[in-house]
Amino acid sequence: MKSKKYKIGYTTGVYDLFHIGHLNLIKRAKELCDYLIVGVNTDELVQSYKGKTPIIPYEQRLEIVSAIKYVDEAIAQTDLDKLKAWHVLKFDALFQGDDWMGHPRYIKTEADLKTVNADMIFLPYTKDISTTILIEKIRK
């Protein structure tokens, strides 16, 4: 079997109200690496930067992500610092939706990852779907 571009890939997210956009990003990431680790943001982490708790509890979100066939390993993400994650996981590439391209946090992340020879890869964001959109539709 031919090896993919990256040996170990990493992507992260909240994955609240799991939808096709989440699946598309995970599937695209797996297409580019042999082993995909997916970090699921803990409730405490989400609360710290979004000021709200996810609708689906962390343990359930982790179980959902773990069950996806493209995911080799699902872990808790307790810190937004991806360089800290790299020191533990030693991934070759970090995959992120391209809706974050140009955001100051990811400009810094990309620079940080270059110092350890890891790539920052932006993947196409699935248009017209997000957990926020789903919540708004439910409220209507």
Cβ–Cβ under 8 Å, residues 16 and 45: no
Catalytic site residues? 50, 52
42 contacts 16 by C-beta, under 8 angstroms: no
The Cα diameter of the chain in Å comes to 49
Q: Show the CA angle centred on residue 59, arms to residues 93 and 44, nearest 5°.
A: 75
